[in-house]
Amino acid sequence: MTMSALSRPGERDRLVVKFTQIDWTFAIALCLLAGTGALMMFSVAGSSWEPWAGAHLFRFGFCFVLMIALALFDIRVWFALAYPIYGIGLLLLVAVEFVGDTRMGATRWLDIGFMSFQPSEVMKVGIVLALARFYHGISAEDARLSWWLIIPALMIAAPVLLVAHQPDLGTAMLIALTGAAVVVLAGLSWKIIGAAVISFVAAVPIMVMFVLHEYQRKRVMTFLDPESDPSGSGYHILQSKIALGSGGFFGKGYGLGSQSQLNFLPEKHTDFIFATLAEEFGFLGCALVLALFAAVIFMALRTASLAHSHFGRLAAAGVTATFTLYVLINGAMVMGLAPVVGVPMPLLSYGGTVMLTVMIGWGLVQSVRVHRYTEVTSGKGAFV
């Protein structure tokens, strides 16, 4: 297949051609990460596929196929569905407020008969799509600084406040940061960015004191001084740091991590799976996995920059920003640099919802890549 062949009219719309345009290096990197996750789950389950490793691989397989399928969807379909998806997500969040399931003090789940799911996850992709769709329709000047920016501000604020009210502070923060990332990528004025950062920093203490729930405030406090209560709330952070540190450079060996194998490490297969990895494979293994994450992020960013459409660029970069935030927040939490918030390590951690969200996002990114030359136009103005 040569470039000339690709440039033939209609050639790029052929499914086989689209298939070859998927970034397979990227796909392999995803498989490696998910495989590492399964490897660790196999270890902490006492060398058993049950109960986590098998299910993890199965889910990843399903999501991987889904990603490929989504990649073949025309970028214009994504474009057309951007606002509807966001709108449905917002409606579902409102619905959760009234009819949601309450589990462990938080109303996050919506029961739709055969399964229950968290609408906040839909919003993680929805916010990216909607903002990309919005910025696609306005000029660079308007994106930099104009009254139009009230709209993206409201688009971000609505789901963030709804999710924060559930309360699910981690997800709310992720949606807010993802939205902010898209707004910044679209070219927001540095003055506004600076002002926002300053006011956010100023608002944090007030938030901690007055807005946060008691358990959330406690988490923040323990984060600041984990040794103050080593068997209570500081336990997670301390045990995670012990797992990491005791791994040393080469690790304790596969299946030999005492912290994770003997249950000192909490959530060893979900939020703290990176600590399990660090204990058994040491700095060497961690560095390799972080390098894999870096490769995934940079390949995705490259995909974004290759897109001809502004919608495609912003959507791909927005998804990448979400993924990056996942990795950094979870990493910082596991390493004792951030409070314990329920943010898993994408692809490594056990858990279906996040896996699905992340892989749908990567489906969007691959769709942007496959359709990078496709012009996205809407003849009827910015909001159609």
| CB of residue 139 to other proteins, shortest distance in Å | 5
283 binds other proteins (CB under 8 A): yes
Please report, to the nearest 10 degrees, the dihedral formed by the alpha carbons of residues 288, 291, 292, 293 taken in order: 130
335 contacts other proteins (rule: CB under 8 A): yes
Round to whole Å and give the CA distance between 328 and 330.
Answer: 6
Could you say whether residue 321 binds other proteins (CB under 8 A)?
A: yes
Selected from 83, 142, 218, 221, the binder of other proteins by CB under 8 A is: 142
**Residue 29 to residue 292: CA distance in whole angstroms:** 6
Q: Least distance in Å: CB of 3 to other proteins?
A: 21
The Cα–Cα gap between 255 and 16 comes to 43
Long-range CB contacts (within 8 A, 24+) of 18-26:
18/71, 18/72, 18/370, 19/68, 19/72, 21/369, 21/370, 22/68, 22/71, 22/366, 22/369, 22/370, 23/299, 23/303, 23/366, 23/369, 25/299, 26/296, 26/299, 26/300, 26/303, 26/362, 26/366
Token digits of residue 223: 């984060």
Residue 176 interacts with other proteins (CB under 8 A)?
A: no
Distance CA 44, CA 349 (A): 12
Least separation in angstroms between residue 285's CB and other proteins is 10
Asked whether position 185 contacts other proteins by CB under 8 A, the answer is yes
φ, ψ dihedrals at 126, nearest 5°: -60, -45
Cβ distance to other proteins smaller for residue 110 or 132: 132
- 187 is a contact residue toward other proteins (CB under 8 A): yes
Binding residue (CB under 8 A) for other proteins from 36, 178, 259, 366: 259
Residue 382 within binding range of other proteins, rule CB under 8 A: yes
Selected binder of other proteins within 77, 91, 290, 384 (CB under 8 A): 290
**Helix (H, G, I), strand (E, B), or coil: what is residue 109?**
strand
When asked if residue 184 is in the footprint of other proteins (CB under 8 A), the reply is yes
**Which residue lies nearer to other proteins by CB, 233 or 239?**
239
- Does residue 368 interact with other proteins by CB under 8 A? no
Q: Which of 119, 331, 351, 363 binds other proteins (CB under 8 A)?
A: 331
The residue range among 52-60, 161-169, 196-204, 313-321 that interacts with other proteins, by the rule CB under 8 A, is 313-321
Return the residues of window 222-241 that contact other proteins according to CB under 8 A.
239, 241
